[in-house]
Chains A and B, each alone.
Chain A
């Protein structure tokens, strides 16, 4: 249960090693937080993240659960297992995604894998989480989307299109859940300096996981539907959205 200050007691991170996801978890830590569940495919690196949180916050129960974004058939069982252990899930952050190698558009199998994990697998996970929160009559879902889906670039059309798709799904699904007390927050970060983007040229208005996390937590407290990080990207993209196709294609966007 959240308390009256908007502080959760239980936080679940799907994509338990996501840097942005972990930064959001960190921002949600308070005197009220009792349990953190990191659900990830690579439980070894999950355990490293657990150790780091435990060292800083010994009173919080932190655990790792095996979770594979691609294994849609197993999603419901994982969510049920987490809930059986943890009780009510106050905030569930859905943060896993594959970036893929955007330049290699000849590798259809790799593209399908990105599409499957980022879209199909995320729809499946969101539905499992949404059902659980709906049954408990409260809770928030944070979906990490991306500005890459707002207007898809030629440099990474597979990734961009999955984000466009999952962002749109989450908008509609969030509306469907609202009357049942579930809050869907869609977070659209711009370029974030993380291990996923290491070595890439930073885009304008690049940001950090901490900044995205702070904006996300403010969005949770204020019951926003959508958060851009940093905020001004919203206005940048309201222009970019209308740039004529031939111009957009030639823009030097990394």
Chain B
């Protein structure tokens, strides 16, 4: 068996699976090889924890190419094989005057993965999640049958698959609505905020005036500077706003990767209190106090970390935990407390990201809900990290919040049951479409997501 060790973007918990690369057209044919450990489709492995691992079972990677994409400029939609990355898709559609409806902080995710994790971006407060823009998709079911589902065609299964972390079936193709653009530039306003209260007030006040908004916090600042931050907000610039060379080719799009971090980073990583403090200080100082109407490229605005390949290696051999939660708007003090405890604990942590979510969609396992969402990176080997994270979990769940599956590597089944109150509803749908538990993952076992409890034996 082509056994291969796989881990998530956090590099924390590698496990071994039988990994097969194949096109979506061939996917149904390998389902006969599924054993007791089931099968799972894996995209580009950008989820941080174990969502895209299936130890001891089959892991299927879709070797789809961008040639399979059908762009319908009149309808403003693209029909995309699930294994195509947003990176490839953007290269194809931006020159035609279209943008993806939602992009996370990296463009190296597949369309299938973006649906399975129901990813969000800086425009969630207005546009919702990626799944909200899926018009229809084709799903290979546990029994090998292929079905087409959409918001008006078996909506139950459709919404269970949006955010369903690959556990309802294999998404092989999706038709998504696109955003029409007349230039590939972003018009960006940047403002610096001296503490978290000032930041949250500014976001609550002005976010709705922008399509895109996100704040980066210095997680190490304490006292009066607690949560000092840089808020960037923007919109797609129109072609008329460009000048000079950019104006002659307003839809020109280039997304280069400047460097790739080598595998030779020493085992404790490059992350320590001194290096991270220096980095955060520099980053805060370098931001303008206030700047309006700056034109930025798509990669610079949406995907700054993508400029450095394998940046996750800075965390060394033990890897990192990325922790993301949402709490209702009324519980903004939970965000404040988490930032404060993290700063006091002194865990060396890079930039944290704070964002306001808009309305939730009908998907039972979709993460975003109206409120504040905070994402934090921490080295997994940091002393006392477990106790710190578990103490955050209590605060978050008590406030009616929850954790993000695509980031999670530490929560316990009970936290998921409390945070996702429609879990049982989702489990019933899964039971209907996959009674034998063909679709499994390390995450589904760890968090006991399938209704059949821990064992999940067939």
Contact = CB atoms under 8 A, between A and B. Distances in A.
Interface stretch (A2-10, A150-158, A192-200): A2-10
Between B15, B57, B410, the greatest number of chain A beta carbons within 10 A of the residue's beta carbon is seen for: B15
A180 B454 CA distance: 22
Between B54, B56, B381, the greatest number of chain A beta carbons within 10 A of the residue's beta carbon is seen for: B56
A74 interface: no
A30 B389 CA distance: 12
A247 B410 CA distance: 54
A181 interface: yes
Between A31, A84, A85, the greatest number of chain B beta carbons within 10 A of the residue's beta carbon is seen for: A31
A222 B10 CA distance: 16
A163 interface: no
A9 B446 contact: yes
B445 A6 contact: no
A96 to B, nearest CB: 26
Given A4-B10, A137-B15, A32 B445 contact: no
Contact of A138 (B56, B385, B410): B56
Contacts of B319: 4
Size bracket of the B interface: 35 or more
Contacts of B48: 4
Interface string A20-48: 00000000001110100000000000000
A87 interface: yes
A31 B16 contact: no
Between A6, A7, A138, the greatest number of chain B beta carbons within 10 A of the residue's beta carbon is seen for: A138
Contacts of A179: 3, 16
A1 B445 contact: yes
Interface in A120-172: 134-138
A226 interface: no
Contacts of A88: 55, 445, 454
A3 B390 CA distance: 13
A32 B410 CA distance: 8
B29 interface: no
Contact of A5 (B17, B56, B386): B386
A242 to B, nearest CB: 30
Contact of B412 (A4, A32, A180, A221): A32
A138 B446 CA distance: 12
A86 interface: yes
Is chain B's binding surface mostly helix, strand, loop or mixed?
loop
Given A4-B12, A4-B409, A6-B380, A84 B390 contact: no
A1 B413 CA distance: 12
B58 to A, nearest CB: 11
Given A31-B390, A137-B17, A181-B15, A5 B380 contact: yes
Contacts of B381: 221
A181 B410 CA distance: 20
A7 B3 contact: no
B16 A180 contact: yes
Contacts of B49: 3-4
Contacts of A87: 445, 454-457
Interface residues of A, number: 27
A134 B455 CA distance: 16
Is chain A's binding surface mostly helix, strand, loop or mixed?
loop
B134 to A, nearest CB: 29
B13 interface: yes
B78 interface: no
A31 B16 CA distance: 25
Interface string A73-117: 000000000001111100000000000000000000000000000
A45 B452 CA distance: 33
B56 A137 contact: yes
A172 to B, nearest CB: 19
A5 B409 contact: yes
Given A32-B412, A84-B457, A136 B390 contact: no
B64 interface: no
Contacts of A181: 3, 5, 14-16, 55-56
B82 interface: no
B56 A136 contact: yes
Contacts of B385: 5
Interface string B425-458: 0000000000000000011011000000011110
Nearest to B415: A31
A31 B412 CA distance: 8
A99 B381 CA distance: 37
Contact of A86 (B390, B446, B454): B454
Given A4-B49, A4-B321, A7-B386, A138 B16 contact: yes
Interface string A214-231: 000000011000000000
B386 A31 contact: yes
B228 interface: no
B455 A4 contact: no
A5 B37 contact: no
Interface string B405-430: 00001111000000000000000000
6 contacts: A3-B446, A4-B50, A5-B409, A86-B454, A137-B17, A179-B16
Given A4-B10, A85-B455, A181-B56, 15 more contacts: A2-B13, A3-B13, A4-B50, A6-B12, A7-B386, A9-B446, A34-B454, A87-B455, A88-B445, A136-B37, A137-B37, A138-B14, A138-B15, A180-B3, A181-B55
For the complex of A and B, 5 pairs with smallest distance between CB atoms:
A4-B409, A137-B55, A181-B16, A137-B56, A4-B12
